[in-house]
Each structure stands twice: as structure tokens, then as C-alpha cells.
Chains A and B, each alone.
Chain A
Amino acid sequence: MRLSMDLELQDVPGQLLLALQPLRDNKANIISVVHHRDRKTPRGNIPVRITVEMDRSRLDRVKNQLEGNGVVVVRAGEERFKEEVSLILVGHVLHSDLGDTVSRVDCTGFAEVMDLSLSMPGIDEPSSAYMRIRATGKEEIHKAISILREVGAQKKLLVIEPIELEAA
């Protein structure tokens, strides 16, 4: 099962290792580690979000071990995708390896493609795809959009993003 945890580490060397060790000991497969070295919490700690694949029954043990290592566990549990975004891709969406396009988002650990519709008017004509992506937060949505922008530039796809209704 995919789980995520928000941790706070003290700003001293070696802390990340202390956070990862209990995961290794409990056979967790680490999907992503997002380490915000430059963004401290009010307590002066460094926020870290770790996404893992592991057996849920081991979660309490991992939490106890983390806390035993002096790591603050702010939240731990099932991955919560809080934000969603719709995008349209136009071009040779299928023949530019759609599977790869999707997995470039999915492999982040913080975002995934949850809906995909494809419209192909004819061979050699550009196809169009609607894609809905969900992610763990607003920032992660922006990162996922950036990834698709890069993929679009590489694969000559037009990526139509949603307008933001608030000021940037």
C-alpha cells in the first residue's frame, strides 16, 4: 500500500539517515523523498515528505522507531491526494509513447494521472487527450504540470493548462 508521511528533522547532519533507517528496517519501498532544506518550520525544523510502498500493519512500528530516533512525525498514513487539475494534450499523443507520458507523472510519488480520455480522428492526424491529475498539494500540482510541460516540449505536444483564477 502507498503511504506517505510528513516528518520534521532537526537541522543537523545525519538526520535524514535517521528518518530513512526505520523504513529500510521495515522493508518499505521508498517512492519519493521531498526534502525542503530551505523551508524551515516555525520550530526551526526541516520538513520532509516521504512516500513509500509498505504494509500498513508496520506503520505504527515505523512511527515509534522514527520518534525513537528523534524525528518528529507530523502525519503518517495513506497518501492523500488533495488537489486535482485538468489538462489537454494535442499532438501525436499515442505514438509519442502515452505510457511513458503517464508514468513520468506517476513515478513522482506525489502526483498521478487518474483519468485519461483519448480522441483520435484518423491515422496521421493529431490526437487529443484529456488528462486529470491529482497530487498531494498545490505545489505538487505545479510540479506535475511542469513535468508535463517538459514532456510536451520533448514530444512536440501542445499542453493546454488550466487558467488560474487567482493572481500568480
Chain B
Amino acid sequence: MREVKISLVGYGVVGHGVVEVLDRKRKALRDMGLDLKLVSVTDHTGSVVADDGVEGQKILGERTLQQVSNCEISSKEIIRSVESDLVVEVTPTNIVHGQPGLGHMEEALSQGKHLVTSNKGPLVVAYGRLKRLAEDHGVSMKYEATVGGTMPLISLIERTLVGNNILGIRGIFNGTCNYILTRMTEEQYPYARALNEAQDLGYAEADPTYDVEGVDTAGKVVILANSIFDMNVKYGDVNVEGITRITPEALLLAKKRGYVIKLIGEVPALTVRPMLVPIGSPLAVGSTLNAAAIYTDLSGTITVTGLGAGRIETASAILSDIVSIYRTKSIDSIS
């Protein structure tokens, strides 16, 4: 049995999902030979530290850790001082300066701890630096949940499609925009009404700018460009147009001619813009789904689809990243 001590930094929606999924999958993971032990959980209000493992059931009812905190040191200090093998970083994202996640990630990697994250900001701001830090310290950095949520994209390219040259990726990377556009198409709602509905259902934030102006999708385009295409680009290099100017009439005109309108991110073109997608195309998915077409030299075009966000769905991508670190066998070690 391989014991893996995990420090969780960030206890918002995704953080709760991670605790719940680790709890729910404990037996299946043990059957796999992995004992994933949560040794610390931290948010902006405090930390719960337990060398023998934090019990999920004891903290899952708490919205923040304020009432259950047993340690008052800073999150970076927790990463440094708590004995752990791996840090899961899921604090709120900031695409401009990457903090506080960037500091957490640098600390974790510098301490020789593996890193798994769903936090886009630090990767958009400093992917190259973080990658070098991971390499220099001989640890893994996994970030599947930053791009397509639960939709397997990075692992699909890095593992299943290994050997292929990736010529390009086009896709829908924001479930909120996709939901709004789907409802505008289905019901002929104006943009504002579809947005209100998305907010009522919890698919859109009170301030939806990040999603609807294409910022979130552009961040994902940057991560894909830097990680899959080795491009060394920044957010400002992406040409971004969101969905706020799309009218129900435009969607209706498109539908009559056999198209839907989707917010599409493209790599290596570095664009985010609404585009006409033929109805029936694998990319023409509705509701909050994400989809991505991967163009390869050997395997042709591969299209994947899946839920782009959600507490448990994102935690599932994080869990799969954690497991993949310990299941990876280097070619040299195979007899």
C-alpha cells in the first residue's frame, strides 16, 4: 500500500468536492494500492491539520474552516511545514497576477511536493516558471482540471495520443457561455434573460464578466498553448471576443441555415470568438457541456466532450491527476 499525504489549499466549492471525492473513493483507491491521506486543509480563515488524516465528514458541513481550524499559521507555512507528498491547490483564480495560488504552487514545488490544481490563474501567468520549478525538484505538476473541467484533454494528449503531432485544438471551454447560448437558441431569449437564468441556476457568477467576455476561455487557450504547443504566450497575446454582443436574431438566422453559434477557443491561433458550428458536428454540444476537437497528424481529428465545471466533476479531474502521478511508470523502470 502506497501512502500519499496530501495538503489541500483552498476550501471553496472545488475544495469541498475534493474532500468529498477522497472520502467517497477511499476504498476503491485502497483496492488500487493507494492510501490517499488528507493531512491538512487550508482556506483564508484557517487550517485543519491532522497527521493521521483529516476526517472528511467532520469538515464537509462547514462552509469555511473558521469554526474548525486548529492551526493559525499562513497557507504557505502550512505547505512548507506540514509533512506531505502532494499539494492540491484550488484557491480562487486570478488571471492577472495569479495570486494567491501562484505563491502556493511555487512553495509546494520548491519543497519537492507534487502539485495538482484546478486553478488557472497561476498557470496563465507563469506556466513556464512553474514547469521548470517542478522539473528542477523532480516532481509532477498536473492541471487537467484547469482546461476542460472533467473533460479529459491534457491527459488524452499526453498519454493516449502520445506519438502524434498535435496540429491544433478548437473547442468550447466555458460551460456558462455554452449554457447561455444554448438557451438563447432554444427559447429565443435575449442575452440578459439567458444570463439571469444561468445565474439563478448557479451556472454563472453574480459578476459574469470573466465567463461571458471570454476571459476564462482565453486563460485556457494560454494554458493549452504553453503546455501542449510549447508557445510561451501570455493572456494579452490572445485575441478575445466574448458572447455579450450575440443577439437571439443572429442565433435564429444561424439555426435556419443549419448552424449554432458557440464561443470557440483556438490554439495555436490564439483566438476566442463566437463562431458558426454546423448542427450535428461533434462540437455542437449544448447546455453546460464543453467539447474540444484535437487535430493530429496520425489519428486524424479526435473530439472529446464533458462537463466543464461543477464541484464533483472538477474534483474527479483532480483525483485522476493525483492517481496518474503514482501510476506512472517510466520506460526505464519497466523490466
B254–A88 touching, CB < 8 Å? yes
**Taking the complex as formed, is A167 at the interface, i.e. its CB lies under 8 A from any CB of chain B?**
yes
Q: Is the CB of B170 within 8 A of A163?
A: yes
Mask for A64-107, Cβ within 8 A of B = 1, else 0? Answer: 00000000000000000000001110110000000000000000
A128 to B249, Cβ gap below 8 A? yes
- A119 at interface by CB-CB < 8 Å: yes
Given contacts A91-B245, A162-B275, A167-B295, contact A86 B168 (CB under 8 A): no
| Chain B residues in 8 Å Cβ range of A132 | 257
How far apart are the CA atoms of A119 and B301 in the complex, in Å?
A: 36
Specify which chain A residues have a CB less than 8 angstroms from the CB of B264 in the assembled complex.
Answer: 163
Chain A residues with CB below 8 A from B276, complex form = 86-88, 160-163
Distance between Cα atoms of A162 and B247 in the complex (Å) = 17
Within 8 Å CB of B247, what residues of A? 90, 119, 121, 126, 128
Cα distance, A120 to B250, chains bound together (Å): 10
Question: Looking at the complex, which one of B249, B273, B281 makes contact with A165 (CB distance below 8 Å)?
Answer: B281
Within 8 A of B (CB), among A4-23: none
Contact B241 A158 (CB under 8 A): yes
Question: B269 contacts the other chain (Cβ, under 8 Å)?
Answer: yes
Cα(A120)–Cα(B247), bound, Å: 10
B229 within 8 A of A: no
| Chain A residues with a Cβ closer than 8 Å to the other chain, count | 25
User: With contacts A128-B247, A162-B278, A165-B281 known, what are 20 further pairs, Cβ within 8 A?
Assistant: A86-B276, A88-B276, A90-B247, A119-B247, A119-B252, A128-B250, A128-B253, A129-B253, A130-B253, A130-B254, A130-B256, A158-B246, A160-B274, A161-B275, A162-B276, A163-B278, A163-B281, A163-B283, A165-B278, A165-B301
Q: Please, could you name 19 A-B residue pairs with CB atoms under 8 Å apart, sorted by A? A: A88-B253, A90-B247, A117-B253, A119-B247, A119-B253, A126-B245, A128-B250, A128-B253, A129-B253, A158-B245, A158-B246, A160-B246, A160-B276, A162-B277, A163-B278, A165-B281, A167-B167, A167-B295, A168-B266
Q: Which residues of B contact A (CB under 8 A)?
A: 167-168, 170, 241, 245-247, 249-250, 252-254, 256-257, 259, 261-262, 264, 266, 269, 273-278, 281, 283, 293, 295, 301
